[in-house]
Structures are given as C-alpha cells and as structure tokens.
C-alpha cells in the first residue's frame, strides 16, 4: 500500500510547478506523506517534506513531472529499485514519460487501489579510472557515451568484454546503452531497437571508420572496459547526456549492470504503440 509519494518536476517550467502544487494537495488530502525535491519546496507552499537522496520507503511512489530529461535525472536520484516511478509528460517527445497530464489522476486512482503493473528497466553503472584511482562514478538509465570534441578527428577506443579483448573502435565515439536507451542516441547512430525488458547491453560505434565495426549486443552479465588510446586531448564522456567528464589517454571506463528501475506501465498504451506514436516507427 502506498504511503509516501515523492514529486520531482522540471525546473523553471511554470506548468510543472502548477501541476506539482495541485498534485501535492490532492495526495495530502488522501492522507499520504508528500515529499518534494529542493526547487519545488521553495515554490510549492505547504507543510511538505524535502526529498532525500538516501532512500524512499518501501511503501513509496515517485512521480516525475516533465520530459524525458527530467525522468533520467530522477532515475539517478532514486536508489531504491523497489519504488515504482510514474513519468508524466510535460515536454516534447515523452518516450519515458509515457503518461499525459490528463491521464495522471485516473492512473493515480488505480495505483492507490493497488491495480497497476510495473516493468523492470535495467540501469548501468559507469566508472572512470585514472592511474588506478576512481575519478567518477554514475548510474545511468539510457546510455554512456564516449565521444570526441574536436572536428574531423577519429579516436581509438580499445574495448574488452569480461577482460576478453573485443576490438579497438576507430570512430567518432562509442555508445554503451541499456535497452531503454536503445531508442535514444544509439538508435540515431544506427543501433537496434531493443525491447526494454530484455537483459542486454548494446555497444554502438559512432561513425565508425571501419565497415566491419557494427553494433553488438552483449549479455547483461558483461563488464565492459573501454581504454582511451588516443593521445590527444578532446575526448569526453557523458552519462545520460546530462553529466559529463573529460577523458585522457590511458583512462579506463568500466560499465556494468547496476540495479533495476521500477517503471509503472501505462494501462492505456503498450510499448509498440509508444514506438509508433512517438517515433512514427513503421510508417511509410
């Protein structure tokens, strides 16, 4: 039974602030504990609790109001993989935030009555190691991207799977993606669409200089190690397209499965309908 609801909303979007205000009052009137992220606490008046980066209660629910970018940030914030997350689209594409604002309250009635389904979405952990020291570590829901900054320069990325040499990608970069992220940058670079509940990791080179370097799927048990072989500066790593770190020659990037995100499934549309609607998949 849901007892605690956290609200995370897109910053500096009046529609998200107003929707959060109405939602917080609606939830509170039903006896639920409401917790808000930091920027909402300053703008939504009331006796609310601040969101904690530690853990949500087992009886909790997280509602994300915004676009896919807001949802990706929330996925990194919520570390309890048992807590269901509901994404409400206030942005453009809305592939992860599959619910519209007009569907929010009917869906919440179902959730509070316990009649809802969730889907486990795999997350990855990416660790940067420089001279045997951990430089940075982040969880991601979509992808880890290693790319060049300078124009017209190919970079060399030596890649191993479970310490077995795979290949050295000579390309503009490399995308390591979850199935959830297969419809994001990986797809734009020529990678496959992978059903989101499948347990696999996708490696997609960006503009490979070798015709035989094609995207490859590896099992979710794989630990991927990418060694930066290019000596020149201008290589960058991004986590879900939101957080970044510059890389140097000799740096190691290790990627492996993290925990699962517990996404609430829409009772109104299935994954293939989302593909057709959001990406116009299959149209002629």
Kindly report the CATH number assigned to the domain that includes residue 45: 3.40.50.10330
Using pLDDT thresholds of 50, 70 and 90, give the confidence band for residue 92.
low
Average pLDDT in the 9-22 region?
89
Residue 8 sits in the same domain as residue 57: yes
Q: Is residue 89 part of a domain?
A: yes
> Which single residue is written with the structure tokens 């006896």?
31
> For the purposes of burial, counting CB atoms within 10 Å of the CB of 227, is it exposed (0-12), middle (13-18) or buried (19 or more)?
middle
Q: Do 48 and 132 belong together in one domain?
A: no
Domain shared by 137 and 210, yes or no: yes
231 in a domain, yes or no? yes
Residue 132, token pair as written in the block = 């045997």
**Domain that includes residue 241, residue range:** 123-259
CATH of the domain at 218: 2.60.200.30
Instruction: State the total domains in the chain.
Output: 2
38 domain-assigned: yes
Q: Report CA torsion sign: 82, 88, 90, 92.
A: positive
Residue 139 lies in a domain: yes
Considering the domain architecture, whether residues 128 and 76 belong to the same structural domain is answered as no
| Mean pLDDT to the nearest integer, 206-212 | 86
What is the percent of the chain where pLDDT is above 70?
94
Question: Rounded to an integer, what distance in angstroms lies between the CA atom of residue 96 and that of residue 67?
Answer: 8
| Average pLDDT for 205-219 | 90
pTM above 0.95, yes or no: no
Mean pLDDT, the chain, whole residue set:
88
Q: Are residues 80 and 170 in the same domain?
A: no
* pLDDT at residue 54 tops 60: no
Residue 52 pLDDT > 70? no
- Looking at the fold, whether 137 and 111 belong to one and the same domain comes out as no
Asked if residue 284 belongs to a domain, the reply is no
Specify whether 136 is located in the same domain as 252. yes
Beta strand 143-148 pairing with 173-177: antiparallel
Could you tell me if 108 and 232 lie in one domain? no
The verdict on residue 37 lying in a domain is yes
Q: Which of 79, 258, 280 is nearest to 180 (CA)?
A: 258
User: Is it the case that residue 55 has pLDDT exceeding 60?
Assistant: no
Quote the CA–CA distance of 167 and 27 in Å, as a whole number. 53
47 and 168 in a single domain? The answer is no
The backbone torsions φ and ψ at residue 191, rounded to the nearest 5 degrees and listed phi first, read -80, 165
| DSSP strand pairing (84-89 vs 252-264) | parallel
pLDDT at 87 over 70: yes
> Same structural domain for residues 127 and 229?
yes
Same domain, residue pair 55 and 147:
no
Judge contact between 110 and 267, C-beta under 8 A. yes
What are the CA-CA distances from residue 39 to residues 4, 42, 160, 183, 224 (Å)?
19, 6, 42, 30, 36
Task: Tell me the catalytic residues.
Answer: 68
Task: Let me know if residue 161 belongs to a domain.
Answer: yes
Q: State whether 135 and 85 are in the same domain.
A: no
Look at residue 188 and tell me if it is in a domain: yes
Lowest mean per-residue pLDDT among 153-157, 189-193, 199-203 = 153-157
Q: Would you state the structure tokens that stand for residue 32, as one six-digit string? A: 């639920």
DSSP letters, the chain, are: ---EEEEEE-TT-HHHHHHHHHHHHHHHTTT-EEEE-HHHHHHS-SSPEEP-SS---TTEEEEEEE-HHHHHHHHHH---TTSEEEEEE-SSS-SS--EEGGGHHHHHHHHHTT---EEEEEEEEEEEEETTEEEEEEEESSEEEEEE-STT--EEEEEEETTEEEEEEEESEEEEE-SGGGGTHHHHTTPPP--TTS-EEEEEEES-SSTT---EEEETT--EEEEE---SS-EEEEETTTEEEEE-TT-EEEEEEEEEEEEEPPSS--HHHHHHHHH-TT--
């Amino acid at each position: 039974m849901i007892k605690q609801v956290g609200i995370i909303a897109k910053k500096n979007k009046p529609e998200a602030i107003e929707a959060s205000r109405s939602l917080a009052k609606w939830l509170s009137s039903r006896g639920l504990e409401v917790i808000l992220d930091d920027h909402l606490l300053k703008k939504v008046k009331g006796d609310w609790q601040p969101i904690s980066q530690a853990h949500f209660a087992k009886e909790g629910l997280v509602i994300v109001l915004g676009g896919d970018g807001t949802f990706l940030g929330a996925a990194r914030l919520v570390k309890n993989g048992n807590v269901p997350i509901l994404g409400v689209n206030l942005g453009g594409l809305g592939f992860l935030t599959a619910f519209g604002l007009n569907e929010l309250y009917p869906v919440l009635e179902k959730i509070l009555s316990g009649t809802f389904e969730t889907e486990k979405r795999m997350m990855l952990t990416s660790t940067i190691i420089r001279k045997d020291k951990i430089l940075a570590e982040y969880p991601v829901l979509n992808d880890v991207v290693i790319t060049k900054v300078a124009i017209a320069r190919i970079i060399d990325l030596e890649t191993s799977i479970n310490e077995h040499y795979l290949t050295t990608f000579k390309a503009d970069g490399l995308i390591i993606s979850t199935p959830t992220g297969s419809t994001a940058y990986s797809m734009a670079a020529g990678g496959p669409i992978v059903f989101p509940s499948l347990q696999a990791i996708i490696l997609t080179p960006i503009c490979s200089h070798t015709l035989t370097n094609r995207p490859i799927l590896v099992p979710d048990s794989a630990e991927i190690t990418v060694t930066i072989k290019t000596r020149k500066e201008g290589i960058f790593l991004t986590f879900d397209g939101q957080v970044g770190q510059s890389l140097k020659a000799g740096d190691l990037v290790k990627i492996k499965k993290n925990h699962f995100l517990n996404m609430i499934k829409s009772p109104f549309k299935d994954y293939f309908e989302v593909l057709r609607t959001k990406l116009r998949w299959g149209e002629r």
